[in-house]
Chains A and B, each alone.
Chain A
Amino acid sequence: MDFRLTPEQEKLKAEFDAHFKEEEKRAPKGWFGGFETRFETDENWAYYRSVIDKVAEKGWLSLPWPKQYGGQELGYLEQALFSQSAEYHRVPAIDVHLSIVSAGMLEYASDEMKQEWLPRMARGEIDFAQCWSEPDAGSDLASLTTRAVEDGDDYVINGQKVWTTGAHRANHLFILARTDTGAKPNKGLTYFLTEIDKPGITIRPVYFMNGGHVCNETFFDDLRVPKKNIVGEVNQGWKVTMSGANFERSGAGGVAAMQRDMEELVDFCKHTYRRGQALGKDPVIRYKLADLAVKIEAMRQWAYCCAWQQTINPMSYMEPSASKYYMTELMVELSNTGLEIMGLYGTLKQGSKWAALKGKFEEQSQITLGFTIAGGTSETQKNIIAWYGLWLPRMK
């Protein structure tokens, strides 16, 4: 057992750090980082695109892929170092949609499809938005009802999707739709890709509780998708969807983001005086901060463990599920504790000269709520651990 990075990993880490330290300086005013912020304003989206163009140029959008498709063939640990560095500097260099689609594609798509799509994806030309969830198919995704019916060289799709994050910025969608209504729920699904500027696609904003425009609902009304845009086989979409989980899910990036937030919160508490005393001298606040620091450290260690586990077995269930669950819950806790420590200043929105840490926790304590739901709720992650890790019986 040896926790030390290899000299090659150290070198790579230094390269990532140097790049993202510079990139951070170009961030627009009021930029918070994270996955959601990029979709909110034109300025943020422009920053994101410029970051992605540079990252693509370095070949970093395709770190894990085989070289023949424009990838770097780097391992999970190296990818974790990349996420860590980007997220610590709050630079939007990670596109989780790209990770999901490419993982599924690498495993199940025809070579022809890989040749057509992956190099363009590696160049950063494609911004995907996700069309999996539906109003009546959330955690029970396989129960979705959007229909795709064969018609000549195409499939014709009808139905409604929700939580289409960033669809108002994206140029492509990836869709899961039902092609066989007679089969078991997860045996009749097919995975499609489409350009977004097609007839039959209507996108409407779904505003987040703070008013931000991140998510959308998407309606398909006789959308035609050519058969060549199917990833994998017809009716095998569930397998492709599941293999889309095979990307770096250690949580290393999220930990780094929390470490950065924590540094700022601790610094704030050292330098903010209330009634003649620094906040950080208050025993209750000290206790809360120290406890958060312990949890972040625990999660940091866990992220390495998880990246290592994925290295040994790319389809590991328990460790990434534990990461997703614990980390997102911790993000909610951190932002709410931060909000509380700020006191009355905490709820002031960004823009006010009185806002503490530029309104960070006012925003974060709302945004993080989605984290424990999206991509598999906390409860779903615990179910996964219980069923596929601890092998507890399932209720039929």
Chain B
Amino acid sequence: MNLDLTEEQQLLKNSARDFFERELPKETVKELETDPLGYSPELWKKMAELGWCGLTIPEQYGGAEFGLLELVMLLDEMGRASLPSPYFSTTVLCAPLITNAGSEEQKSELLPKIASGELIFALALTEPTATYEPDGIETTATFDKDSYILNGTKLFIHDAHCADYIICVARTQVWATPEEGISIFLIDPKSPGITITPLQTMANDHQNEIVFDNVKVPAANLIGEIDQGWPVIKRILDHAIVAKCAEMIGGCDWAVDASVEYAKERVQYGHPIGAYGSIQHYLADMWIECSMGRRMTYYSAWALQEGEPTDMVIPATKRWVNEAYKHCTRMGVQIHGGIATTMDHDMGIYYRRARQGALLFGDTQASLQKVAMQLGL
């Protein structure tokens, strides 16, 4: 056992911290929240140059072939910087999906362009059913001659508005169990019959509604085996939960650090408020929650990467990080006082992101249900 970061990991984390402190002022974050595109193509290009867009893509396809653990460390920093970008959709969700399930042709065509930052992807998974379980997939894809015809509505889809490709999860067959009969398609968002409508959310995280109205998709655009898509999605979702936790814990860390620093500076009744026991105890609790969440997140990433059992620890981690991030940002506002409730202050970005992130890829209730199942209840 060695719980220190390797030199390479430390370097990645440090360079990410420096990069975002230099390149991403909070003013830019706030501007991008309401910007229709939602990210800075200039920053994206620089991130690609640093090799981050292809961080976990195999070397043969132009990537850096790092593991999930390294990805998680980078996401930790991205969360801390509150980076608005299609990084999660593209590099965390879609790139490994293509790596795991794509044909040789798809991989050699798409992955190098993801790594170089040329292509942005969105994963169209969730629907108005609002669940990450397979029974939520109601969008249909019907085989017709040499193509599939897609019909249905995808909802809560991040970055679809700016994606060069959409990877859509649809039902191709109704079988005995909801896991069966699901297939994955690579879709050009400009195909006739697709309507993409941006959604306004609490975190301004650029989600969209996508309506598929008799959208014709060439049969060659199937990713993986027909009807066998769910195991591919399930694997991506496990990675996504851990990755989302990393991003969230980075934000949580920012909230704790900012609160500690503020408590040292802000003077009331003649003392810095950080000298008062009540504030000290809030901060100690916040530090503990955040630190424990990071440990769980890194362990989950390691376990997933090494093929160790994760059915218990992954939902447990999500539950922990959800509540830690929500609590630390709520207390972050409390410690900063009235100013933190305003748009002028940065805490609001994290407060809103915490509540958004806590619902993505498994909210607390869904996570606890999974834990209860693992307990055999």
Contacts of A183 in B (CB 8 A): none
* Known contacts A1-B5, A6-B1; A286/B303 CB under 8 A: no
Cβ distance A323 to chain B, nearest Cβ, rounded Å: 9
Best-buried of A266, A289, A390 by chain B (most CB within 10 Å): A390
The answer to whether A294 and B9 touch across the interface, beta carbons within 8 angstroms, is no
B271 engages A3 (CB within 8 Å): no
User: Do A5 and B280 touch (CB < 8 A)?
Assistant: no
Asked whether B260 lies within 8 Å of A302 as measured between CB atoms, the reply is: no
Contact A297 B375 (CB under 8 A): no
Give bound CA distance, A267 to B132, whole Å.
Answer: 29
**Contact between A291 and B302, CB atoms less than 8 A apart:** no
The segment from B84-92, B93-101, B235-243, B311-319 found at the interface with A is: B311-319
Q: Pick from A270, A318, A387, A393: contact of B377, CB below 8 A.
A: A270
B149 on the interface (CB 8 Å rule)? no
Contact present for B284 and A1 (CB under 8 Å): no
Most central of B6, B260, B316, B376 by chain A CB within 10 Å: B316
Q: Which of B275, B298, B312, B377 contacts A266 (CB 8 A)?
A: B377
Which residue from A305, A382, A387, A393 sits with its C-beta under 8 Å from B264? Answer: A393
Alpha-carbon separation in the docked complex, A391 to B280 (Å):
10
List CB contacts (< 8 Å) of A311-355 with chain B: 312, 318, 322, 325-326
- On chain B, the residues within 8 Å of A382 by CB distance are 280-281, 284-285
Determine which of B2, B264, B368, B376 lies in contact with A1 in the assembled complex, contact meaning CB atoms within 8 Å. Answer: B2
CB of A326 within 8 A of CB of B292, answer yes
The answer to whether A389 and B296 touch across the interface, beta carbons within 8 angstroms, is no
Is B27 close to A, CB under 8 A?
no
Q: A1-B302, A266-B377, A305-B295 are in contact. Are A395 and B369 (CB under 8 A)?
A: no
A293–B263 CB distance below 8 A: no
Contacts A269-B377, A298-B316, A392-B263 given; indicate if A3 touches B283 (C-beta within 8 A). no
B257: nearest chain-A partner, CB-CB: A390
B375 touches A289 (CB 8 A): yes
- Bound form: Cα–Cα A289–B316 in Å: 12
**What residue of chain A has the Cβ atom nearest to residue B275's Cβ?**
A393
How far does the Cβ of A166 sit from chain B's closest Cβ, in whole Å?
30
* Interface of chain A residues 31 through 69 with chain B (CB within 8 A): none
Partner of A294, one of B1, B368, B377: B368
Q: Taking A1-B6, A293-B371 as contacts, is the C-beta distance between A281 and B377 under 8 angstroms?
A: yes
CA distance A3 to B285 in the complex (A): 25
Contact across chains for B9 and A1 when beta carbons are under 8 A apart: yes
Residue in B closest to A379 when the chains form the complex, CB atoms: B281
Inter-chain contact A308/B288, CB cutoff 8 Å: no
Measured between alpha carbons, how far is A270 from B260 in the docked complex, in Å?
A: 45
List the B side residues contacting A295 at CB < 8 Å. Answer: 320
CB pair B299–A3 under 8 Å, yes or no, is: yes
- Which residues of chain A have C-beta atoms less than 8 A from B288's C-beta? 322, 325-326, 385
A266 and B376 form a contact (CB under 8 A): yes
B 272-292 binary contact with A (CB < 8 Å = 1; else 0)? 101111011101110110011
Q: Is B306 an interface residue (CB 8 A)?
A: yes
Contact partner, B292, options A291, A302, A387, Cβ 8 Å: A302
Within 8 A of B (CB), among A374-396: 379, 381-383, 385-387, 389-395
Question: How far does the alpha carbon of A391 sit from the alpha carbon of B372 in the complex, in Å?
Answer: 39
A302 to B5, CA, bound (A): 16
Are the CB atoms of B260 and A286 closer together than 8 Å?
no
State which residues 126-154 of B face A: CB under 8 Å. none
* A86 CB, min distance to chain B CBs, angstroms: 20
B1: contacting residue among A4, A280, A326, CB under 8 A: A4
Interface residue B343 (Cβ < 8 Å from any Cβ of A): no
Q: Are B369 and A290 in contact (CB under 8 A)?
A: yes
A287 at interface, CB cutoff 8 A: yes
Q: Judge whether B217 is part of the interface by a CB distance below 8 angstroms.
A: no
Does A112 make an interface contact (CB < 8 A)? no
- Bound complex: CA A293 to CA B306 (Å): 23
Task: List, in ascending order, chain A residues with CB within 8 A of B187's CB.
Answer: none
Distance A379 CA – B293 CA, assembled complex (angstroms): 21
Q: What total count of A-B pairs have CB within 8 Å?
A: 148
Report the minimal beta-carbon distance from A393 to chain B, rounded to whole angstroms: 4
Measured CB to CB, the closest approach of chain A to B89, in angstroms, equals 26
Q: Which of B280, B302, B369, B374 has the most CB of A within 10 A?
A: B280
A2 at the B interface (CB under 8 A): yes
Q: Is the CB of B377 within 8 A of A297?
A: no
Question: Using Cβ atoms and an 8 Å threshold, which residues of chain B touch A5?
Answer: 1
Q: With an 8 A cutoff between CB atoms, is A115 at the interface? A: no
A272 CB–B CB distance under 8 Å: no
Contact B271 A393 (CB under 8 A): yes
Contact A393 B1 (CB under 8 A): no
CB of B29, distance to nearest CB on chain A (Å): 26
CB atoms of A266 and B284 under 8 A apart: no
Chain A residues with CB under 8 A of B344: none
B299 CB to nearest A CB, Å: 5
Query: What are the residues of chain A within 8 A of B281 when measuring CB–CB?
Result: 379, 382-383, 386
Cβ contact within 8 Å between A298 and B292 = yes
Given known A77-B1, A322-B291, contact A294–B283 (CB-CB < 8 A): no
Asked whether any CB of chain B lies closer than 8 Å to the CB of A277, the reply is no
Per-residue CB contact flags for chain B residues 342-377 toward chain A (1 = under 8 Å, else 0) read: 000000000000000000000000011101101111
A290/B284 in contact, CB under 8 A: no
Please give me the residue from chain A that is nearest to B291 by CB atom: A322
B287 / chain A contacts, CB cutoff of 8 Å: 318, 322, 385, 389-390
Residues of A within 8 A of B9 (CB): 1
In angstroms, Cα B369 to Cα A77, docked, is 33
**B 1-27 to A, binary, CB cutoff 8 A, 1 in contact else 0:** 111111001000000000000000000
Complex: chain B residue closest to A269, CB-CB? B377
Is B170 among interface residues, defined by CB-CB distance under 8 A?
Answer: no
**Quick one: given A297-B313, A304-B3, are A394 and B377 in contact (CB under 8 Å)?**
no
Q: List 29 A-B contacts (CB under 8 A).
A: A1-B2, A2-B2, A3-B303, A4-B1, A4-B306, A6-B1, A280-B375, A280-B377, A281-B377, A287-B368, A287-B372, A290-B372, A290-B375, A291-B319, A293-B312, A293-B374, A293-B375, A297-B316, A302-B295, A308-B2, A325-B288, A379-B277, A381-B284, A382-B284, A389-B287, A390-B280, A393-B271, A395-B275, A395-B276
B-binding residues in A (CB < 8 A): 1-6, 9, 77, 266, 269-270, 280-281, 286-287, 289-291, 293-295, 297-299, 301-302, 304-305, 308, 312, 318, 322, 325-326, 379, 381-383, 385-387, 389-395
| A-B contact sample (5 more), CB < 8 A, given A298-B295, A302-B291 | A4-B1, A291-B319, A293-B316, A304-B295, A381-B284
Residues of B bordering A, CB below 8 Å: 1-6, 9, 69, 260, 263-264, 271-272, 274-277, 279-281, 283-285, 287-288, 291-293, 295-296, 298-299, 302-303, 306, 312-313, 316, 319-320, 367-369, 371-372, 374-377
Query: Closest 10 A-B residue pairs measured CB to CB?
Result: A386-B280, A382-B284, A385-B284, A280-B377, A290-B368, A290-B371, A392-B274, A308-B3, A290-B372, A393-B275
